[in-house]
Structure 1
Amino acid sequence: MARDPGTAPAPAPAPDERQRDADRSQGIILAAARDEFADHGLGGARMDRIAERAGLNKRLIYYYFEDKEKLFQAVLEQAYRDIRDRERELHLLDLEPPQAVRRLVEFTWNYYLEHPEFLTLLNSANLHKARHLEGSQRARALNSPVIETLAEILERGRRSGVFRGGVDPVQLYVSIAGLSYFYLSNSHTLSAIFGRDLLAPKARSERLSHMVDVILGYLLRS
């Protein structure tokens, strides 16, 4: 008996379309998981809540990410990918060395202010001794370019006689990140201890100027 044309099954999605759907679903899951881990940490996060935030079936989360530990690792990798993508948009190598370092300090400060979830994710990762990053080749690959860029900036500055020599780009980047990270991560306790609102607009502006002065004061030859 001939099949009724009106009942013919819909054609299966093309492979490219299926991949786009999978990428979209994973992106939604990662965004929901990022917010859940930022709010509750790894220990307090719940897969049920992540599924609810994402508006997706919990089984789909397990299908893509296996378990909560793997999902947390994927969230951390995505967090590093996001900040590194933004750093590349700075085009630091197109600038003179002092301007490039200034821009990196300013960017780091502003990114941390605009993305407090990044700091809370790092806090949670450190509570677990970074075991989710130690085995991640992806995280290492993501973080290498910024160090290579900074090394090139430092070498250009040294050759031109603007910067001192012998500066370790890893140590310098840690100092740039640390000056912002500690201040913002501890802003509530520091404000209470010193009796000043360290997140007031004036205080934030003063902090950024101070950090730029500290970093460039160390690098510039007198």
Structure 2
Amino acid sequence: MPRIAVSATAGKKTAKAAKAGKDEPTRRQQLAAKTRERIFRIAIREFADKGFSGARVETIANRAKVNIRMIYHYFGDKEALYVEVLEHVLARLREAELAVALDVRTVHPADGILQLYDFTEGHFAAHPELLCLLSWENLNRARYLKRSKVIQAMSSPVLDKLRTLIERGEAAGNLRAGIDPLHLYVTLVSLAYFHKSNAYTISRMFDTDMLAPSWQADHKAEAHALVRAYLEGERVLEPG
């Protein structure tokens, strides 16, 4: 009997170990995941540098050190890979925006809106590939962005944050009346985007290094003053 009991216990342990083994990824699965990730990271750089039309699947395969068939195996085709790249960089922006430590119920509305601006400005500085991809896709008139089923839904939570801050500010008299959340968001992104995405050309035109940290810091202070004046000042002209 003791021997049987030991065998039963050992059997349970063996079954448990077998189940755990099934739940854990195999070495082949781990290698496949790493290969896919390597292809994807290189694709981000390639599309950011050259856009959809200029990027080549062959170049991505060579740099990733894989057979070109592997790209089609993991992503379907070049267009599907490009759309996934767009979804990834925009999702990373949205996730980070929503993670900003900001209590929209208690923070001063103008301060909260400026915190969102600061985050966006910092994210663009840290992720120049996002600026490049957005610029390329604008040249494409959002042709491939339209094919994503998830990108449009990503923006709603950000507008909800702005809407809450605006409504609180208007109710308390901290902000002027009539501010539209979408117009405000576009304004914030514009102030955070243009001087980075076009820095090389306007630096050349005005013989000023607009990517210099000191110039960027000064421009950020200018943007703060503009946004605060817009939020808190009286409306001078009503739209016709």
Give the TM interval when normalised to the shorter protein. 0.7 to 0.9
Code of the residue aligned with 1:98 in structure 2: it is A
Aligned mate of 2:112, from 92, 95, 100: 100
Secondary structure of residue in 1 paired with 2:150 = helix
TM-score of the two chains, using structure 1 as the length reference: 0.86
2:45–2:129 contact (8 Å) kept in structure 1: yes
Please tell me whether residue 67 in structure 1 is matched to residue 77 in structure 2. yes
Looking at structure 2, the residues matched to 55 and 66 of structure 1 have their Cα atoms a distance apart, in angstroms, of 18
What per-residue deviation string (whole Å, max 9, x for no partner) do you get for residues 191-213 of structure 1? 12222221222211110011111
1:161–1:221 contact (8 Å) kept in structure 2: no
Please tell me the root mean square deviation across aligned C-alpha atoms, in Å.
2.2
After superposition, the Cα gap between the structure-2 partners of 1:114 and 1:188, relative to the gap in structure 1 and judged at 3 Å, is: same
What per-residue deviation string (whole Å, max 9, x for no partner) do you get for residues 49-74 of structure 1? 22233344432221222111111111
Aligned mate of 2:98, from 88, 99, 102: 88
Please tell me whether residue 17 in structure 1 is matched to residue 29 in structure 2. no
Code of the residue aligned with 1:89 in structure 2: it is A
Structure 1 vs Structure 2: percent identity of aligned residues?
Answer: 37
After superposition, the Cα gap between the structure-2 partners of 1:16 and 1:106, relative to the gap in structure 1 and judged at 3 Å, is: same
Please tell me whether residue 27 in structure 1 is matched to residue 37 in structure 2. yes
Unaligned runs of 5+ in 2: 1-17, 235-240
Code of the residue aligned with 1:129 in structure 2: it is R
TM-score of the two chains, using structure 2 as the length reference: 0.80
Most deviating of 151-160 and 93-102: 93-102
Quick check: which has more Rg, 1 or 2? Answer: 2
Looking at structure 1, the residues matched to 32 and 160 of structure 2 have their Cα atoms a distance apart, in angstroms, of 33
Please tell me whether residue 47 in structure 1 is matched to residue 57 in structure 2. yes
Looking at structure 2, the residues matched to 22 and 99 of structure 1 have their Cα atoms a distance apart, in angstroms, of 46
Shift of 1:173: 0.8
Aligned mate of 1:220, from 232, 236, 240: 232
2:83–2:147 contact (8 Å) kept in structure 1: no
Shift of 1:165: 2.1
In structure 1, what is the equivalent of residue 68 of structure 2?
58
Looking at structure 2, the residues matched to 155 and 27 of structure 1 have their Cα atoms a distance apart, in angstroms, of 42
Code of the residue aligned with 1:46 in structure 2: it is R
Please tell me whether residue 118 in structure 1 is matched to residue 130 in structure 2. yes
